[in-house]
Structure 1
């Protein structure tokens, strides 16, 4: 076996060290999720909750591998997002945003953590109220949860991505709900949050993916989004995009000194994984 082959072999789940890092990242991000859920109360500012989630991940990962001879990158793999009601996903506002949670809001939380580039992501739906949820809110939560459980049982060696897509749509239909179009579940690799193998939530003329078969020792982030509506995302308001990821396959020719400085900082702090513009603003770059 060549050195390259040995290195590649060590980067999947056949390596106990890799498994340990995945588990460590998963433990931290699940604790962060519990913290965020507790903070979801009426009149709480969304940006404050997002910042607390990210800060917890940075603190906990910062305490790991302190004495390692080799530098181990670790921290936030995907910024904490709180997407409320009709907002589908990935809302992580700027510090100046004054949006607050209200009683009865349905909040979709998603966030990610990594240790040495091995990524664990988590998502959860929480309704801001003390009592049990009923009606359509209960239906859509049950649909998403059941679909996720079915998907996890189908992401197995020998099964195909289409098997998952077909199954989760049938589950949602049983609850009189729809799986939201355009949602992709990606294979995860070291420092890669959007791998080439993809599970498409719903096939349509505008979005298609290659057929793929799951293999031994692969890792996937399964993302299930259900709706009581048609499952077709629509633009309801102009929320500013705040989450970015550098396109590593592109070259940037920046003429302005300020632009080159900003890109240099981003390249040093967030060379591969997604980040929120809040981190950049903290650096007083804008």
Structure 2
């Protein structure tokens, strides 16, 4: 890995760590979800980075892929469990980190403890040549030992420049025949999810996050939609984005209509919110690890 890339990853990790720590202290019942997420994204920019994806906030049974829309009026409820997932990039080099805050007075303390310990133990197994399945086995064993379930269809992933999910998955459950090993000069997110529910997430109807997938399709587009597509290419490359980041390009109605159209036509990938199948409480903790050429494992967000 080139020295400039290493420096950028470490800087992205430093910013992500600081923003997540500051954001965690702001979470309280009644807080505007929209104002919170916009604060997180603006704080990343203030510190010299760029959001690698929209601030994700998952309340209780919402596991992932929720970010507020421009007209979102929701607030953080009392007696809830709140997940914050933050991504930062510096020149396309990404750090991804997440935490969970219990606003229930400790009702779900053991669930959070289980997932936090699963992350800590899993990180100790990461080294060059280690199997992804070793991490999966550790996560499943620890979370299950507390009486909870790892979320089977969520997990960690490889990371590459301008790609939050770079093609390799690190499941939260042990799959003995699963392939994949940790390689030098590569970057990975280790991301256990645990729940008191079914241990599976399903897609909801709401979509607030998209990414560019096939920018060069030959399709006829109206002028507004074509302009939005060009702005997406220019501003975000292949990184996930949300309508809020395009508010200066078109009206809310135009944005939503065009983003849905671009998704249907194959230009964009959409990310529906993911909810726990039995509406169980979900907890999440995450760090990004970078494996240097010499084999040293660096937790960029710790």
The corresponding residue for 1:150 is 121
Contact kept? 2:83, 2:99, Cα under 8 Å: yes
User: What is the CA distance between 1:249 and its match in structure 2?
Assistant: 7.1
Corresponding residue of 2:244: 278
* 1:168 aligned partner: 139
Change (3 A) 1:178 1:56: same
Deviates more, 1:181-190 or 1:260-269: 181-190
If asked which structure has higher relative contact order (CA below 8 Å, sep 6+), I would say: 2
1:263 paired with 2:250, answer no
1:226 corresponds in structure 2 to: 194
Matched, 1:195 2:166: yes
* Mapped contact 2:8–2:91 kept (Cα < 8 A): yes
Q: Higher strand proportion, which one?
A: 2
CA distance change for structure 1 residues 250 and 108 in 2, over 3 Å: closer, same or farther?
farther
Q: Deviations over 1:189-239 (max 9, x none)?
A: 2222111222122378xxx9961111223210111110011212246x64x
2:228/2:249 contact within 8 Å kept: no
The aligned counterpart of 2:58 is 83
Would the aligned equivalents of 1:185 and 1:200 in 2 still touch at CA under 8 Å?
A: yes
Structure possessing the higher radius of gyration over alpha carbons: 1
Consecutive aligned runs of 4 or more in structure 1 exceeding 6 Å deviation: none
Are the aligned partners of 1:200 and 1:209 in contact in 2 as well (CA < 8 Å)? no
Q: RMSD value over aligned CA atoms?
A: 2.1
Q: Deviations over 1:226-258 (max 9, x none)?
A: 0011212246x64x2111111147625232222
Q: Give yes or no for contact 1:119–1:191 (8 Å, CA) kept in 2.
A: yes
Q: Which runs of 5+ in 2 are unaligned?
A: 255-302
Count the aligned residue pairs.
252
Which stretch of structure 1 is more off in the superposition, 189-198 or 41-50?
189-198
SS of residue matched to 1:97: coil
- From the superposition, tell whether residues 165 and 250 of structure 1 become closer, same or farther in structure 2 (CA, over 3 Å): farther
Distance 2:225 2:249 in 1: 14
Distance 1:249 1:194 in 2: 18
TM-score, normalised to structure 1, is: 0.81
The alignment partner of 1:242 has SS state of: strand
1:247-271 superposed Cα distances (whole Å, 9 cap, x missing partner): 1476252322221111011111111
